[in-house]
């Protein structure tokens, strides 16, 4: 099954796609978080024939939810309302940004998509 991963941010959203059978994830793009973001995500889901969405949940180092986690939950609520037939899974994304920074080096424009890739890699490894 094709899976789309989202690294949610207030200004930008990183997107990656992967496959549960192949166990791979690749960065796809970074999209602007604006009024049309749900439309863009829906288009990406349709063009990639996605069967599930994994959204990174930013927990504190101690595993608690802060303001950013509440923002992600609100975004996921809207995503589920917009795409009611699609399974949306929340996934602990602690330390993915640090790993993404290590991977991208000077290519910071790819940071959010690589963070989404790491979220998806961790999710696929758990299956």
| Segment 109-122, tens digit of pLDDT | 889 999 999 999 99
Going by C-alpha positions, the residue among 3, 9, 119, 123 that lies closest to residue 53 is 3
pLDDT at 4 over 80: yes
Q: What does the domain layout of the chain look like in residue ranges?
A: 2-126
Determine the Cα angle at 33 with ends 16 and 84, to 5°: 70
**Cβ neighbours of residue 11 closer than 8 Å, sequence gap 6 or more:** 32, 33
The enclosing H or E element of 37 equals: helix 37-47
Claim: this prediction has a pTM higher than 0.85: yes
> Which of these CATH numbers, 1.10.1740.10, 3.55.50.30, 3.30.360.10, 3.30.420.140, describes 2-126?
3.30.420.140
């Amino acid at each position: 099954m094709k899976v789309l991963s989202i690294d949610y941010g207030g200004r930008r959203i990183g997107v990656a796609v992967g496959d549960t059978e192949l166990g791979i994830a690749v960065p796809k793009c970074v999209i602007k978080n604006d009024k049309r973001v749900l439309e863009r995500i829906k288009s990406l889901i349709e063009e990639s024939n996605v069967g599930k969405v994994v959204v990174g949940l930013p927990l504190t180092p101690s595993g608690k939810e802060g303001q950013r986690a509440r923002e992600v939950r609100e975004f996921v609520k809207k995503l589920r309302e917009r795409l009611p037939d699609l399974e949306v899974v929340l996934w602990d994304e602690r330390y993915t940004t640090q790993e993404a920074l290590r991977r991208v080096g000077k290519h910071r424009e790819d940071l959010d998509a690589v963070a989404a890739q790491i979220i998806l890699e961790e999710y696929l490894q758990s299956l």
